[in-house]
C-alpha cells in the first residue's frame, strides 16, 4: 500500500499570482474619473481588510506554515480556504499597487492642468478637497434584496427592512458579489466592525429612497448568524 501523497508546495496559492487578478478594469483605468478611482481604492481596501479577518479567524497570517514538520497538510486548520484567501490577497495587493499608480498619475495631470491655466501651485488644501467626501459617487445597481429581518437583530438595529434593495454591502457590489458569497465573506471578516450598506427603499409617497446604513455583524444578539436577516440575490 502506498504512502499518502506529500504536499511540498502547499504554501503556494491555488491560482497564479501574476501581475494582477483583474487588470484594472481591463486597462480602462485611465478612462475612469477620479471619483471612480477613489471608489475602487476604497473597495480594494475594504476587501483586503475582510480577507485579513478571514486569516485571523483561523489564527494564521500570510507566512504561517500549513504543513506539519514531516510535510503533510495540517489537520487543525482549513488549509484549502487559507490558500484561496492568501491567493486573493496577493492578487488584490497587486491590483492596489496599479490603482495607486493610476490615482497618482491622475493627480499629477490634474495639478499640471491647473498650473497651465491659472499658473498656481496646488496646495495641500486643494489635494485634501479632492480626496474628501465632496466627490459625487454614482449609485451602483442593486444586486440583492432583503427578504426578512429578525427582531432585535443587528440588521434591525441598523435599520434594514424587508424589501430593501442593496446597492453596496461594504466592498461588495453587483459586479463582484459572486452569488452573494462575497457578502458572507465581508460579514465574517468584519465581525464587531461597522459595514456601510447602501440601500434603495420603496417609499409610497416619494417613490424610492436612497439610504446609507451602518451594520455591525455580531454574535450573542439572541438569534442565529451575525446579521439576523435573510438576503436574496436579484
| Residue among 98, 92, 100, 101 at smallest CA distance from 15 | 92
What pLDDT is stored for residue 6 in this prediction? 41
What pLDDT is stored for residue 177 in this prediction? 87
Those residues of the chain that have pLDDT short of 70 are: 1-31, 108-138, 206
What pLDDT is stored for residue 53 in this prediction? 85
Q: Please, what is the end-to-end C-alpha distance for the chain in angstroms?
A: 52
What pLDDT is stored for residue 25 in this prediction? 43
For the chain, what are the domain ranges?
24-131, 144-233
What pLDDT is stored for residue 110 in this prediction? 62
What pLDDT is stored for residue 128 in this prediction? 37
What pLDDT is stored for residue 190 in this prediction? 87
144-233: CATH class:
mainly beta
- Check: CB of residue 115 under 8 Å from CB of residue 121: yes
What pLDDT is stored for residue 175 in this prediction? 86
- Check: CB of residue 30 under 8 Å from CB of residue 103: no
Query: Considering the entire predicted model, what is its pTM?
Result: 0.48
Amino acid at each position: 500500500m502506498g504512502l499518502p501523497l506529500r504536499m511540498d508546495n502547499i504554501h503556494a496559492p491555488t491560482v497564479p499570482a501574476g501581475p494582477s487578478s483583474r487588470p484594472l478594469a481591463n486597462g480602462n483605468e485611465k478612462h475612469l474619473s477620479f471619483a471612480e478611482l477613489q471608489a475602487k481604492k476604497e473597495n480594494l481596501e475594504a476587501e483586503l481588510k475582510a480577507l485579513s479577518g478571514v486569516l485571523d479567524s483561523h489564527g494564521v497570517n500570510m507566512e504561517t506554515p500549513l504543513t506539519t514538520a514531516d510535510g503533510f497538510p495540517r489537520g487543525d486548520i482549513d488549509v484549502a480556504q487559507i490558500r484561496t484567501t492568501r491567493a486573493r490577497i496577493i492578487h488584490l495587493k497587486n491590483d492596489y499597487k496599479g490603482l495607486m499608480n493610476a490615482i497618482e498619475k491622475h493627480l499629477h495631470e490634474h495639478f499640471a492642468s491647473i498650473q497651465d491655466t491659472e499658473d498656481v501651485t496646488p496646495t495641500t488644501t486643494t489635494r485634501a478637497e479632492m480626496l474628501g467626501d465632496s466627490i459625487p459617487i454614482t449609485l451602483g445597481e442593486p444586486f440583492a434584496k432583503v427578504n426578512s429581518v429578525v427582531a432585535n437583530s443587528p440588521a434591525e438595529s441598523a435599520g434594514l427592512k424587508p424589501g430593501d434593495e442593496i446597492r453596496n454591502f461594504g466592498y461588495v457590489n453587483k459586479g463582484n458579489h459572486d452569488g452573494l458569497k462575497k457578502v458572507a465573506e465581508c460579514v465574517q471578516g468584519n465581525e464587531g466592525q461597522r459595514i456601510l450598506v447602501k440601500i434603495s427603499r420603496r417609499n409610497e409617497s416619494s417613490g424610492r429612497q436612497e439610504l446609507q446604513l451602518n451594520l455591525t455583524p455580531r454574535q450573542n444578539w439572541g438569534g442565529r448568524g451575525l446579521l439576523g436577516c435573510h438576503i436574496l440575490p436579484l
